[in-house]
Amino acid sequence: MTKLNKVTVSSLTELNDFTKSLVPTLKPGTICLLYAEMGAGKTTFVNSFMTHLGVDTVSSPTYTLVNEYHSSPPVYHIDLYRLESDHAVDSFDLDYYFSQTRYIFFVEWSERLSHIDFPHLAISITRENENRLITITNKGL
């Protein structure tokens, strides 16, 4: 387990600079599990990353479980908060998505996953006043 990156961003511009630097790192098949409190900036992080793939997410529905972006590479943005019960989370067929290895994956509310046995990048976002501390850890397993 190696630490990939740790950065503090204090504005959306700085966030955009950071997510841009991740574009070469996030290859097709990469699973990014996001960990953060409510409103810490998970969706904003993914949307920022998407701008570098030429996708304007402003038009995306906000309250969906899965957003699919036909970018290059394509991206699945999954928000587990939309699943009502833990049973629904356990029954949700993440493997169906993860088997499509030409995609990059972002999962919000990864805290809800009860067992994680696949290699992934853990992206944690914590708020410190108006700043966000973003830590990315490679969980190669």
Ligand X SMILES: Nc1ncnc2c1ncn2[C@@H]1O[C@H](COP(=O)(O)OP(=O)(O)OP(=O)(O)O)[C@@H](O)[C@H]1O
User: Least distance (Å) from Mg ion to the CB of residue 108?
Assistant: 5
- The whole-angstrom separation of Cα 71 and Cα 103 is 9
Q: Which stretch binds Mg ion (CB under 5 A): 5-13, 38-46, 51-59, 88-96?
A: 38-46
Q: Is 19 in the site for Mg ion (CB under 5 A)?
A: no
Contact residues toward ligand X (CB under 6 A) are 9, 11-12, 15, 36, 38-44, 81, 108, 132
User: What is the Cα 78 distance to its own chain's centre?
Assistant: 8
User: What is the Cα 128 distance to its own chain's centre?
Assistant: 20
77 interface partner picked from ligand X, Mg ion, none, CB below 5 to 8 A per type: none
Residue nearest to ligand X (CB): 41
Work out whether the CA dihedral 58, 59, 63, 69 comes out positive or negative: negative
38 interface partner picked from ligand X, Mg ion, none, CB below 5 to 8 A per type: ligand X
- The whole-angstrom separation of Cα 75 and Cα 77 is 6
Instruction: Report the residue number, 42 or 120, with the smaller CB distance to Mg ion.
Output: 42
122 interface partner picked from Mg ion, ligand X, none, CB below 5 to 8 A per type: none
Q: Identify the helix (H) or strand (E) that includes residue 49.
A: helix 42-52
Q: Which residues make Cβ contacts (< 8 Å) with residue 48, sequence separation at least 6?
A: 12, 15, 16, 19
132 interface partner picked from Mg ion, ligand X, none, CB below 5 to 8 A per type: ligand X
- Site of interaction with Mg ion (CB under 5 A): 42-43
